[in-house]
Amino acid sequence: MEALRQQRGAAKTKVTKLEKKVDTERNSGQQISKEKIEVYLARLEDIRCEFDDVQQQINAIQVGDPTVAEATEDEAFGDRYLNLKILLKEMLASVASIQAETRPSLSDEVLVRVLQQQSELMRRFGENSAGGDSQATTSNNDAIAQLVQQQTELLRRFADGGSAARNDSSVKLPVIKLPMFAGRTE
């Protein structure tokens, strides 16, 4: 029985070390990576399973109801486990929201693509205008017209919905006739 209590104490020590490690990293001022938080969560689950296994063995050996001290041990560990898990989940959500804010939106991607196309067209325009023949002039005019059309469409999308991305989510739903209630119950 004493060996099992020592194993349970070792599991509690592991949680304490994990708590201290998380606190140290949080107080360092540096952002903890999503992957590191996920590893900490997995480690916490492993420790919880280890503690539960030992606690079940203690309960199986013990005759009668668990003592107040045994119940207190289990409850105290459960509270520490939950508090640390909540903290890690909050940190994970914080990291995920920061990553979502810094990730470029679809409208940013569309804008970048249009600007890349614009720079390519301008480069071609510069190369072709150096030659001076009439075919190059026609090609340049087509390129400029294409560029103006793209920019006009992009500006229209921004003006309409505040986004460069198209929003094709308007779907016509079928009409459903609902039964009429006459006030009588059958």
DSSP for 144-184? HHHHHHHHHHHHHHHHHHS-SS------PPPP-PPPPP-S-
DSSP string, 5-62: HHHHHHHHHHHHHHHHHHHHHHHTSSPPPHHHHHHHHHHHHHHHHHHHHHHHHHHHHS
On the question of pLDDT at 47 being above 60, the answer is yes
- Taking the model in full, what pTM does it have? 0.52
Comparing 28-37, 62-71, 104-113, the range with the smallest average pLDDT is 104-113
Most confident of 71-80, 139-148, 152-161: 71-80
Top pLDDT among 150 and 90 is at 90
Q: What is the mean pLDDT of residues 16-35?
A: 88
- Residues of the chain with pLDDT > 70, as a percent, come to 70
User: How far is Cα 65 from Cα 140, in angstroms, rounded to an integer?
Assistant: 90
Residues 57-76: tens digit of each pLDDT: 888 888 777 778 777 888 89
Most confident of 40-49, 118-127, 153-162: 40-49
Q: What is the mean pLDDT of residues 45-51?
A: 93
Identify the CA nearest to 18 among candidates 98, 107, 87.
87
pLDDT at 106: 57
